[in-house]
Copies of this chain bind each other. A is one copy, B any other.
Amino acid sequence: MAQNTRYDILFEPVAIGPVTAKNRFYQVPHCSGTGHLRPQAHAAMRAMKAEGGWGVVCNEETEIHPSSDLSPYVENRLWDERDIPALRLMTDAVHEHGSLAGIELVHNGNHTYNLFSRAPALAVNDMSVSFGWPKQARAMDKSDIKELRRWHKQAALRSKEAGFDIVYVYAGHGMTLAQQFLLPEYNNRTDEYGGSLENRTRLIRELLEDTKEAVGDSCGVAFRFAVDELKGADGMQAEEEGRAVVELLAELPDLWDVNVSDWSNDSSTSRFNLEEGYQTQYTEFVKTVTSKPVVAVGRFTSPDMMVSLVKRKAVDFIGAARPSIADPFLPKKIEEDRIEEIRECIGCNICVSCDGMSIPIRCTQNPTMGEEWRRGWHPEFIRPKQSEQSALVVGSGPAGLECSMQLARRGYHVTLAEAADTLGGRVSAESNLKGLSAWSRVRDYRQQDLQQRGNVDIFTGSELSAEQVVELGIQNVFLATGAVWRRDGVGRSSRKPLPGVESAKVFTMEDIVSGVQMPSGPIVIYDDEQGYLGGVLADHLSSAGHEVIIVTPGSVVSAWTAYTLEQERIQTLLLKQGVKIIANHSISSVSDDNVTVSCVFTGKKMEIPCAGLLLVTERTRRTELYQSLIALKESGNKEAQPFNFELIGDALAPGLIADAVYSGHLAAQNFEEDPAEIERALFQRELPSLSIER
């Protein structure tokens, strides 16, 4: 039971078929970029969720056969019994904390390339594989369907053997064969698996029945189902076939795990869905149709909303992927009535981006995410101080705040000096831009933590010179002095300043957030970086009434945001707002009221009107203080001799906010650490076995 009785309802046990979750906190399956390649890292990450109080902890998409080979993406794998030991690492670790472990079995149909296994791809009908590879899947015949059922059943049995308590059938995210069979857009079969809804649901029913028959005696059988595709009448709708499917299968699964499709809708960012609970309108009907427990998601971080959802019978379980990544200890903090300590997800999808790059999951808010095994990091505990040293942190952007907070948590006395009048650095700046307001949580969480500690002195409006640093007499200095956007156009496309830039009306992100008056007439944004910022600024300025032209050497705007599932939305939004997009072009020169752009393919030039040029090309690290401290030390200044100082965050290497937080965390962790241990952690990795038999 919770320390605050208003949350008691969240800590009631709930049965899922033959198993019982100890509470209502349910980490739904989510990818992690560790999967079958990094089973120890995967197990340690999931175990942390269990330790943090999640009653159910699921894994991620788990391929059941070589014909559902998601390579190069790294998910879980249960092709045969050889995969059981790796998965058992997770279930054992989750069980240690009294939680249930769930496994999301999947065949991905034409959503797989099978590029590793080289097996022919399978689909409900003949059709191309879903991504840009010139390859087609073949329609499954009856014997293929029979085989598929056999594979799924074998995988269920192996799941049980691996120790899982909950076994999934999965029809969602626009990614799975079961969903393709269901959707008339894909299914034009003329046999008993096509046509009527009942026919299109047949495969799902069979998979559910097979799974129950195989493992239903001891495992809960969950059905993950996207009730709405958010395509209106062109797709599944919650109030049409979405409901009909739930009605047809209502009591068959032991648990309904419901959401919206595709993945970009389910994992919508705060930029496009600011408020938590954005899926509830689609999913809340499910509980009215079935007596089985229901789990649903919506980036929930507010305990009061959770309580309300359960009380008004919208859900039985509070589902979470991203909030459990940002704070694995969210349930424990609610249980112990430490609500203000919850590290809330900012909805940035950095976690999601890792899946697309097949790298271990990370999180802007929680720098320990994905580092549980490699570095032994814990989101709540950090090694106490080793001495009575104190530390000075210069700069309160994401790196400075995180470094200060972690050093303070270790027990060191921390002095945090910020040149500006408010804390947050680039986080404060960027969260002033349209769509990014939730990012301020990165600052708020840390600022609140720091302000409550007795061993932290915070000084704002305090720009420090090297001499002042030395005068302070604090011998360990962390320079989180950040970076500023270049005003000369140097970047990936050109290592030289743009001709004419010195006399042009040039602006950067810093000008926009500080409210500099923009000229009237077309504002040209040059997005040579191709991250998120160029598109954000285009949205920000065009929403404020400016005429905006965005020039990018990329083929689309904000190309990188494909990894955060935002690119299509951004380009659509900008086009609808009338932003002119000039893709595949770099800027070759600038004049008073024009820029000349050049086709990246042919070099062909054209002039476009430009009243003001907003450059998003590259950033300059602010290392002046660092250089001055080096100079002071090298000059033989006696007082400067004992000083240790290092750059962290963007001042060390500009990157994402997540990188800066990580850099600050790493510096705090490594402070007074044995160099051998620091090196060990940097080199740590999982390796292939060399003794696999042929």
A-side interface residues toward B, CB under 8 Å?
Answer: 36-40, 66, 71-72, 79-80, 82-83, 85-86, 89, 113, 115-121, 126-128, 130, 132-138, 185-186, 188, 354, 357-360, 362, 373, 376, 483, 491-492, 495, 529-533, 554-556, 559-560, 568, 571-572, 575-576, 583-584, 599-602, 604, 618-621, 652-656, 659, 662-663, 682-690, 692, 694
Contacts and interface: CB of A to CB of B under 8 A. Distances in A.
A186 B653 CA distance: 17
Stoichiometry, copies per complex: 2
Given A38-B688, A495-B127, A575-B601, A694 B117 contact: no
Task: Pick from A80, A530, A690 the residue with the most CB of B within 10 Å.
Answer: A690
Name the 3 nearest CB pairs between A and B, nearest first.
A134-B531, A555-B555, A120-B653
A635 B137 CA distance: 29
A619 B129 CA distance: 12
Contacts of A599: 575
B694 A684 contact: yes
B492 A662 contact: no
A683 B80 contact: yes
B119 A72 contact: no
Given A39-B690, A376-B694, A529 B358 contact: no
Contacts of A684: 694
Contact of A136 (B116, B121, B130, B619): B619
B357 A687 contact: no
26 contacts: A40-B694, A71-B358, A79-B685, A83-B687, A85-B690, A120-B652, A120-B653, A120-B663, A127-B618, A128-B529, A128-B618, A132-B554, A134-B560, A134-B656, A135-B653, A138-B621, A186-B495, A188-B495, A376-B694, A555-B556, A571-B601, A572-B601, A572-B602, A575-B599, A686-B692, A687-B692
Given A662-B118, A690-B39, A529 B134 contact: yes
Nearest to A568: B601
A672 to B, nearest CB: 21
Contacts of A354: 115
Given A136-B653, A136-B655, A687-B82, A495 B568 contact: no
A681 B51 CA distance: 40
A118 B373 CA distance: 15
Contact of A652 (B86, B138, B683): B138
A653 B121 contact: yes
Nearest to A620: B126
